Amino acid sequence: MGSTEVSTTCPYCGVGCGVRADVAPDGEASVRGDPGHPANRGKLCSKGSALGETIGLDGRLLHPEIDGRRTDWDAALDRVARRFQDTIAEHGPDSVAFYISGQLLTEDYYVANKLMKGFIGSANIDTNSRLCMASSVAGHRRAFGEDVVPGIYEDFDEADLVVLTGSNTAWCHPVLYQRLLAARKARGTRIVVIDPRRTATADECDLHLALDPGTDVLLFNGLLAHLARAGVLDRDYIAASTAGFDQAVALAAADAPGVEHVAKGCGLAPADIRFFYELFSVTERVVTVYSQGVNQSAHGTDKVNAIINCHLATGRIGRPGMGPFSVTGQPNAMGGREVGGLANQLAAHMNFDNGGDVDRVARFWNAPEIATRPGLKAVDMFRAVGEGKVKALWIMGTNPAVSMPDAGRVRGALKACDFVVVSDVTRTDTTRFADVLLPAAAWGEKDGMVTNSERRLSRQRPFLAMPGEVRPDWRIICDVAIRMGFGTAFDFVNPAAIFREHAALSAFENKGERLFDLGALADLSDEDYEAFQPRLWPARSRRQAGRLLGDGRFPTPDGRARFIAVRQEGVALAATSEYPLALNTGRLRDQWHTMTRTGAVPRLMANTPEPMVDLNPHDAAAYGLADGDLAHLSTRYGFSRARVRVTEAQRPGQAFLPMHWSGHFAANSGAGTLAAPITDPHSGQPELKNVPLRIMRE
């Protein structure tokens, strides 16, 4: 490969920015934003612009290993296939599991899901996207009948009010935030930020509602009741396109009987709530954006539905500048949802609980052992590993030893597990537990498809040769499947062939019941796939898709959306005298996940070179801590340490710790070690935003 520019996609957040990558003959790579990509129109954030500095081989896994010793691919793949076969033969298909990643490309995800659900016969395949947006998936399914994001990024340009709730968009989806600020400058878009912390996102807003942790349902129930009282409901839309309004609004009114009640429950000023409710009432073009602050909660699904209820009640959905809008954390969280990468989904937006879907997928795959019921979601999966019920585990492209809640217990489970396979790009805290280590291709070497938060499919293309003996994930998975005796079903020659099968499955016996449909892409030639230009799904015809659900028809049996009656439940774990603070975790602007890539770039490390815990001055004084002190943090799940940053951005009684650090980078066991393994009953997503904390000087 010479110095030709290659169009690819950023491997970090769900904005899914287009990147133009160029490698000079001396091996130096440079990147710039792709001006032709509709998601970013040439812009990149600090992480994206530093991608060229992350392609070195320091720390790369270059050769397969068994028990810490270098081996060859045949020996490694034989060992994986044989141990999985033996375990299944002795203990049944549910004794094995895959834990995969939103970093995988759609084709990797597809074959992993096909192997586990169609050929091994278990649905024990879950993904780190469970920690990111599973509550949005569950909320969308409850309200719309399918996991559909109705909006597109142009809605950010065309809205008159954007409500950012549980979303530090300025840091976590920076290019989208810049797009919103450009729209604000051009048309005066109003912005409301709902977040317990005063984040960088709140620097530019008309109103910041620093509500108490876990009170989002109360706030949005109060909004629904206010909309009803103020007479700004779209009665025609409610009658023609929805069901369940009366129950939802009655419960909302009982739960949130007035502004004063909401203000008291949320810890907000009544005047601020009135301002928000009035602004929402009088503005037709409203987009409500939500991400991890809503999803990562023991009641995340109810929060999502409380938001969607307000948009359904006003008919503001799927039209220009209107709608609920979940933004995903990872580059291919959405692609994973499409292939059924979550343990409770089948492929192509089909489900275990929809009659006929299991049979349909089995017939399409000619699958010998199709799974018939959901498998273990992430937290339960690692619990089952710890209990010895899952005896063989394959982890692909993710670092659960750091990122899972109650990570200390997860590390113990991995240590005790009979057989652990890890395929990854670099050594991590998790690779330490691998019996077999498989070196996977990295960004810049990989070739496949991803889908961003607005349902836009884009290509990740290679511009670097694969170093050492690394192989792409899809190839590794197929090679194991073939060794397990499933040859012809996994005899793919390239990612394009996998994508064609995925697209064909999405259209198989789909007469419009499922909106997710890539039928028009099922016969892409290899050349068409190579030249593929970003496009939104569905792709039923050559015509480009746009917003969805704006016609008032939903993919439910009766074509109507569902209001979901929800009530404020409070936080799962309240502060105690022993653990008096509420710990919130999240991302920094310049880091990505557990820093395996961004941690290697000095300029990205410069802003925050070590883990910092943010504390309000009142709490710092109460615990005898000053700015820069090293603090010992403990919860009932584990302990960690971080340097104190005293800031008014943090409300009294609350602390914030970035999720990124681990023992790999600092004398710190990480935010995951402190977090609670308590999950939402509908989505299985863990509570990562509120765990009782004790803090003292180290």
Determine the residue with CB nearest ligand SF4: 48
Q: Give the contact letters, 175-194, x = binds to ligand SF4 (CB under 6 A), - = no.
A: x-------------------
Q: In terms of CB distance, is 343 or 659 closer to ligand SF4?
A: 659
613 binds ligand SF4 (CB under 6 A): no
Nearest CA to 131 out of 613, 533, 594 is that of 594
**Site string (158-177) toward ligand SF4, x via CB under 6 A:** ---------------xxx--
- Two tokens at 426? 């670099």
The smaller minimum CB distance to ligand SF4, of residues 303 and 459, is found at: 459
Q: Number of residues in contact with ligand SF4, rule: CB under 6 A?
A: 14
**182: Cβ contacts below 8 Å, ≥ 6 apart:** 157
- 16/408 with CB nearer ligand SF4: 16
Query: Cα–Cα distance between 331 and 103 in angstroms, integer?
Result: 6
**At closest approach, how far in Å is the CB of 593 from ligand SF4?**
11
Interface segment toward ligand SF4; rule CB under 6 A; list 5-13, 379-387, 481-489, 530-538: 5-13
DSSP code string of 564-608? --------SS---SSS-EEEEEE--TT--TTSTTGGG-HHHHSS-
Q: Residue 162 forms beta bridges with which residues?
A: 191, 287
Instruction: Find the binder of ligand SF4 among 47, 140, 141, 179 (CB under 6 A).
Output: 47
Alpha carbon distance, N-terminus to C-terminus of the chain: 52
Q: Which is nearer to ligand SF4, 327 or 489 (CB)?
A: 327
- Look up residue 78 and give its two tokens: 């034989």
Q: Give the nearer residue to ligand SF4 in terms of CB position, either 591 or 616.
A: 591
Smallest gap, in angstroms, from Cβ of residue 594 to ligand SF4?
15
In the shown chain, the binding pattern of residues 200 to 239 toward ligand SF4, with x for contact by CB under 6 A and - for none, equals ----------------------------------------
Q: Give the pair of three-digit tokens for residue 436.
A: 């077999």
Q: Which is nearer to ligand SF4, 44 or 393 (CB)?
A: 44
Q: Which residues pair with 23 in a beta bridge?
A: 29
Q: Which residue has the tokens 């995951």?
A: 672
Question: Rounded to 5 degrees, what angle do the CA atoms 283, 286, 287 make?
Answer: 170
| Residues contacting 295, CB < 8 A, separation 6+ | 132, 133, 134, 135, 136, 166, 303, 304, 326, 683, 685
Distance CA 224, CA 460 (A): 42
Contact (Cβ atoms closer than 8 angstroms) between residue 11 and residue 31? no
Out of 13, 218, 312, 693, the only residue in the binding site for ligand SF4 (CB under 6 A) is 13
List the interface residues with ligand SF4, window 552-581 (CB under 6 A): none
Phi, psi dihedral angles at 421 (to 5 degrees) = -110, 135
Cα–Cα dist 441/447, whole Å: 9
CB proximity list for 575: less than 8 A, separation 6 or greater: 581, 582, 653, 692
In this structure, the number of other CB atoms found within 10 A of the CB of residue 545 comes to 17
Stretch that binds ligand SF4, among 12-20, 71-79, 467-475, 609-617 (CB under 6 A): 12-20
Instruction: Check residue 334 for interaction with ligand SF4 (CB under 6 A).
Output: no
Tell me the sheet residues that pair with 697.
631
3-state helix, strand, coil in the chain (%, to 5): 35, 15, 45
Residue 40 is a binding residue for ligand SF4 (CB under 6 A): yes
Q: Are 250 and 336 in contact (CB under 8 A)?
A: no
Contact flag: residue 684 with ligand SF4 (CB under 6 A): no
Considering only 48, 315, 329, 405, the residue that binds ligand SF4 (CB under 6 A) is 48
Q: Least distance in Å: CB of 643 to ligand SF4?
A: 26
> In the 8-state DSSP scheme, what is residue 665?
T
User: Residue 106 CB, nearest distance to ligand SF4 (Å)?
Assistant: 16
From 45, 193, 273, 378, residue interacting with ligand SF4 (rule: CB under 6 A): 45
16 binds ligand SF4 (CB under 6 A): yes
Tokens of 441: 């291709």
Among 6, 21, 23, 44, binds ligand SF4 (CB under 6 A): 44
CB of 331 to ligand SF4, least distance (A): 7
- Segment interacting with ligand SF4, rule: CB under 6 A, options 39-47, 250-258, 287-295, 381-389: 39-47
State the Cα–Cα distance between residues 343 and 122, nearest whole angstrom. 9
The binder of ligand SF4 chosen from 7, 12, 133, 532 (CB under 6 A): 12
Site string for ligand SF4, 121-160 (x = CB under 6 A): ----------------------------------------
Residue placing its CB nearer to ligand SF4 in the complex, 19 or 615? 19
Full strand arrangement of the beta sheet holding 65-66: 69-70, 65-66, 436-439, 419-424, 392-396, 96-100, 125-127
Q: What is the Rg, in whole angstroms, of the alpha carbon atoms belonging to the chain? A: 24
Among 6, 8, 17, 309, binds ligand SF4 (CB under 6 A): 17
- For the record, the structure tokens of 358 come out as 């299991």
| Least spacing, CB of residue 156 vs ligand SF4, in Å | 13
- State the minimum distance, in angstroms, from the CB of residue 569 to ligand SF4: 32
Amino acid identity of residue 429, one-letter, is: D
The residue among 592 and 665 lying less far from ligand SF4, judged by its C-beta, is: 592
Cβ proximity to ligand SF4, 13 vs 192, nearer residue: 13
Task: Compute the least distance from the CB of residue 39 to ligand SF4, in Å.
Answer: 7
Distance of alpha carbon 31 from alpha carbon 80, whole angstroms: 37
Minimum CB–partner distance for residue 334 and ligand SF4 (Å): 13
Residue of 6, 8, 10, 625 that binds ligand SF4 (CB under 6 A): 10
Q: Which residues bind ligand SF4 (CB under 6 A)?
A: 10, 12-13, 15-17, 40, 44-45, 47-48, 173-175
